[in-house]
Structure 1
């Protein structure tokens, strides 16, 4: 029970921090991701300032934009690692490859599902999807290092045959 109350939440928080760090590294390595992260915020700020300058209330636009950003952040950083962590605990999946791979897969697919991408992604979008996969895989791997190796608690010792 102590595992569920202390170790797993701690591991999830550290893993999410590692995911943010991996996203920062991805934005340094890839100009498309840097443009997505930095350019998107820059365009949002300028759009809000333009609205305020032309006499419109930027509040509803800012609220909608930050709601979408929050949902995307949740779909990239929080939901994948939590879903895989709970599943690994319930099904006693102790493999680092499974935890990293599933977390990466969810981190790449959940934002696409949220945005309802119904067309073939462009090469730049594929690069962003690949980066999201790697960020999710890094998040899952850090969780596995801290708490995933003991997923499901202690296994029962195999029964020995009487002699």
Structure 2
């Protein structure tokens, strides 16, 4: 019975943690001036490319596939780190806030670097921009980890009620 209860709490915590991380990402991208410039430049370039591709006769289905790819990348970025950290934390019965927030933040920030597999050539400006993006992603993952810890992580190692030492 305890396992079912933990699974329910784990699911609820993840159901709350993932949107909290997504909300943090959106807020930081909207409020941070450097992220605004990066987002506006990327959005305008993407809109320009989309409109020129549509004018050239590209099928709208191709655009839907590109949007599906973006949605998949965002789900990997926002869902995978808190789920992985939660599973490891629950398996090892960890209760530390540092584990849930820190590990989720580090994993989220590291995902683009791990996916790329190598350092991109470029100067200090590119490295600073990528470091800034990594800090934004760390904050996103840390927020998701914090929400998970608040809901389920604090009680991960507690013995069942009525057990000796409870």
TM tier relative to shorter chain: 0.7 to 0.9
Which deviates more, 131-140 or 66-75?
A: 66-75
Q: How many residues align?
A: 157
**1:84-123: CA deviations, max 9, x gaps?**
0000000011001111000000000112222334237521
Give ranges in structure 2 of 5+ residues lacking alignment. none
TM, length-normalised to structure 1: 0.82
Superposed, which structure 2 residues align to 1:30-69 within 5 Å? 30-37=32-39, 39-63=41-65, 65-69=66-70
Partner of 1:161: none
Q: What is the 5 A alignment of 1:8-157?
A: 8-37=10-39, 39-63=41-65, 65-119=66-120, 122-152=127-157, 154=159, 157=164
Where in structure 1 are there 5+ consecutive unaligned residues? 159-163
CA distance in 1, matches of 2:116, 2:71: 13
Aligned equivalents of 1:102 and 1:84: distance in 2?
7
- Aligned partner of 1:6 in structure 2 is 8
CA distance in 2, matches of 1:73, 1:138: 16
Mean Cα deviation higher: 37-46 or 27-36: 37-46
TM-score (norm 2): 0.81
Q: Could you tell me how far apart the structure 1 residues matched to 2:10 and 2:33 are?
A: 34
